[in-house]
Amino acid sequence: MLDYPISIAPEAWGAHFWAAIESVACTLSTHNKKDVLRFFDVLRRVLPCETCRGHYNEYCDQHPIHGYTENCVVLLMWVFRLRAAIRERNGQPPEDFRIYLQDLAERYDIPEIRYHIDKMHEYLAMRERHPRSVFLQKFRLDEFSVLFIPAAP
């Protein structure tokens, strides 16, 4: 066993690891919630890049994952925000949450994601049909619906 930390550049493993993280997040259910949380907790110690591991720990400390385990879509919002923080740190342009979810829905064929996308489209269509509705301007379906709502002009 080595007595010094080994750090492998994220270019070698990053894309594959994102796929694994997203796949695990998509499987979240009441039956495996503890195991999924354990998976994300273990990453705090085993990410192959020392710098990435430090950034992941910092993100987890600032955004505890336990508040994002209501369902797989909420957990994917946490993953999306993690990706956004990394993209910002690396000087990359931001991604669109709607496109991100649609891509995952197509890639993994998860009904819960498709259902959420459909509901968000219905909500946005309602807001468009009733732009002066005080209720619709104040009402948000949930914490991550704000990621679907275009900024006011």
Closest CA to 33 of 74, 63, 61: 74
pLDDT in tens, 61-104: 999 999 899 889 889 999 999 999 999 999 999 888 888 988 99
Tell me how many domains the chain contains.
Answer: 1
**Are the beta carbons of 71 and 112 closer than 8 angstroms?**
yes
Domain that holds residue 33: 13-147
- Looking up residue 25, the CATH number of its domain turns out to be 1.20.120.310
Query: Is 142 part of a structural domain of the chain?
Result: yes
Q: Is-above-0.75 flag for pTM?
A: yes
Is 1 a domain residue?
no
Residue 5: inside a domain: no
- Asked if the structure places residue 7 within a domain, the reply is no
Is residue 63, in this structure, part of any structural domain at all? yes
DSSP, res 107: H
- State whether residue 94 is helix, strand or coil: coil
Q: Is residue 8 part of a domain?
A: no
Q: Which residue has the tokens 């990453």?
A: 43
pLDDT digits (tens, 9 = 90+) for 127-153: 788 877 776 666 655 545 545 544 444
